[in-house]
């Protein structure tokens, strides 16, 4: 136990800590000293203050001095809680037609969304999601019902997984793309399958795949 961590938390301090947590959960606001006193069964406000200082030393709290309700728990699981993005599911992707691109109407109207932690996808701009229909994408290791989170990007870089519509075959597919002169190398995700090449002019890049989600 090398760190400053609270290896020796009094029972009172644990009570205080958990009381603050449940209080915040219920009220969206940290409690006052006196509320802690009652809620955690501490005898006096000075004791609460005393324990809070100890907890602050143990690096479990942040306190703002002389500010009412100035105690927030340093719960790492709470730090990033706010960063969730709602991504609209704007349509379906099937092999036989181009992948939908989101327009303003689709974004507004769609009632289905998928929630993703921002840490998963980074900047949320231009994100949209498609539901995979049919099992024609299994060479991309993507199955019927999977959710593909896409991003509108100006251009895809070599190695990006992208939705590509091949105009000569009338077919949408998800492949890793590599620019090779006038050709495009399309590499399936499935490592047992061979890449193949198409003329760059017959390949329309529909969007970059950021993330695939499968609920089971």
Partner DNA sequence: CTTGACACAGAACACTTGTTCGCATATCAT
Partner DNA sequence: ATGATATGCGAACAAGTGTTCTGTGTCAAG
**Residue positions annotated with a catalytic role:** 136, 175
Q: Give residues 89-128 in contact with DNA (rule: CB under 7 A).
A: none
Displacement of CA 96 from its chain's centroid (Å): 30
Q: What is the rounded distance in angstroms from the CA atom of residue 157 to the CA atom of residue 159?
A: 6
Q: Which does 142 bind (CB under 5 to 8 A by kind): a copy of itself, DNA, none?
A: a copy of itself
The DSSP bridge partners found for residue 2 are none
**How near is the Cβ of 62 to a copy of itself at its closest, in Å?**
8
Q: What is the rounded distance in angstroms from the CA atom of residue 199 to the CA atom of residue 201?
A: 5
Angle made by CA atoms 105, 111, 114, in degrees to the nearest 5 = 110
Q: What is the rounded distance in angstroms from the CA atom of residue 159 to the CA atom of residue 143?
A: 21
Interface map 63-92 toward DNA (x if CB under 7 A): x-xxxxxx----------------------
**How near is the Cβ of 182 to a copy of itself at its closest, in Å?**
25
Asked if 6 and 60 count as a contact pair (C-beta separation under 8 A), the reply is: yes
Q: Give residues 25-64 in contact with DNA (rule: CB under 7 A).
A: 32-35, 42-52, 54, 63
Q: Which does 43 bind (CB under 5 to 8 A by kind): a copy of itself, DNA, none?
A: DNA
Q: Which does 106 bind (CB under 5 to 8 A by kind): DNA, a copy of itself, none?
A: none
**How near is the Cβ of 9 to DNA at its closest, in Å?**
9
Rank residues 52 and 161 by Cβ distance to DNA and give the closer one: 52
Q: What is the rounded distance in angstroms from the CA atom of residue 200 to the CA atom of residue 123?
A: 29
**How near is the Cβ of 52 to DNA at its closest, in Å?**
7
Rank residues 17 and 147 by Cβ distance to DNA and give the closer one: 17
Q: Which of 180, 48, 197 is nearest to 17 (CA)?
A: 48
DSSP per position, 135-200: STTGGGT--TT-EEEEE--S-PPTT-EEEEEETTTTEEEEEEEEEETTEEEEE-SSTTS--EEEEG
Positions in the binding site for a copy of itself (CB under 8 A): 25, 27-30, 32, 64, 67-70, 72, 76-78, 80-82, 84, 86, 114-117, 119-120, 135, 138, 141-143, 160-161, 189-192, 209-216
Q: Which does 112 bind (CB under 5 to 8 A by kind): a copy of itself, DNA, none?
A: none
Residue 10 interacts with DNA (CB under 7 A): yes or no: yes
DSSP state for residue 10 in the 8-state scheme:
-
Please give the residue ranges that form the binding site for DNA (CB under 7 A).
8, 10, 12, 32-35, 42-52, 54, 63, 65-70
């Amino acid at each position: 136990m090398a760190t400053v961590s609270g290896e020796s938390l009094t029972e009172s301090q644990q009570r205080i800590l958990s009381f603050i947590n449940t209080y915040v959960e219920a009220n969206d606001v940290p409690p006052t000293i006196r509320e802690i006193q009652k809620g955690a069964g501490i005898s006096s406000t000075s004791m609460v203050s005393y324990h809070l200082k100890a907890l602050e030393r143990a690096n479990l709290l942040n306190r703002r001095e002389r500010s009412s309700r100035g105690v927030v728990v340093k719960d790492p699981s709470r730090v990033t809680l706010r960063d969730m993005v709602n991504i609209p599911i704007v349509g379906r992707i099937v092999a036989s037609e181009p992948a939908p691109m989101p327009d303003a109407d689709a974004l507004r109207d769609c009632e289905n969304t998928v929630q993703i932690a921002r840490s998963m996808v980074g900047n949320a701009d231009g994100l949209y999601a498609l539901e995979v229909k049919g099992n024609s994408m299994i060479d991309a290791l993507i199955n019927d019902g999977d959710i593909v989170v896409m991003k509108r990007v100006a251009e895809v870089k070599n190695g990006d997984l992208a939705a590509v519509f091949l105009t000569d075959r009338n077919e949408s597919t998800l492949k890793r793309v590599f620019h090779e002169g006038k050709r495009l190398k399309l590499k399936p995700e499935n490592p047992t399958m061979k890449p193949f090449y198409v003329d760059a002019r017959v390949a329309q890049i529909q969007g970059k795949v950021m993330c695939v989600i499968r609920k089971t």
